[in-house]
Amino acid sequence: MKTSEKGLDLIRKYEGVRFAAYVCPGGKLTIGYGHTGPDVYEGKKIDAEEANELLEHDVERFERSVNELVHVPMTQGMFDALVSFCFNLGAGSLKSSTLLKKLNGGDREAAADEFLRWNKAKGKALAGLTARRESERELFLA
């Protein structure tokens, strides 16, 4: 599966875009729409086109992860929500999550509720993460 525009819009909304490198609430050096990695360094600047290219590249990586990890049929909303989740937290978080276990076990409703548990950075609940997880849950159930 591939991420829909609705899924990309959700990622863009919660990531926001920054054209200069910054440290995110999770403590990682970040640029564009939440892009992290060895190519991001203090003082780095990009333009809107590069921000979109990085987003597309990053989303493809998480699409592959979701397609590999989920072993039950998914709606587009479920897929988009899971890609957003992985984009924000990493595929390793999904891989080891109760969310994935419940989803692959066929309990869609219980899996949806698990999104809400992932609203903390450095042990503190953040309003932005709480709102994102609620939006992901809503899209997952759509």
Q: Residue 18 pairs with which residues in a beta bridge? A: 32
Query: Packing angle between helix 76-89 and helix 5-15, nearest 10 degrees?
Result: 30
Listed in sequence order, the residues at least 6 apart from 37 whose beta carbon sits closer than 8 Å to its beta carbon are none
Name the active-site residue from 5, 15, 53, 114: 15
136 is catalytic: no
Residues in the chain, overall count: 142
| Rounded distance between C-alpha atoms, residue 89 and residue 64, angstroms | 15
| Rounded distance between C-alpha atoms, residue 80 and residue 103, angstroms | 14
CB 104 within 8 A of CB 73: no
| Rounded distance between C-alpha atoms, residue 116 and residue 133, angstroms | 5
Active-site amino acid positions: 15
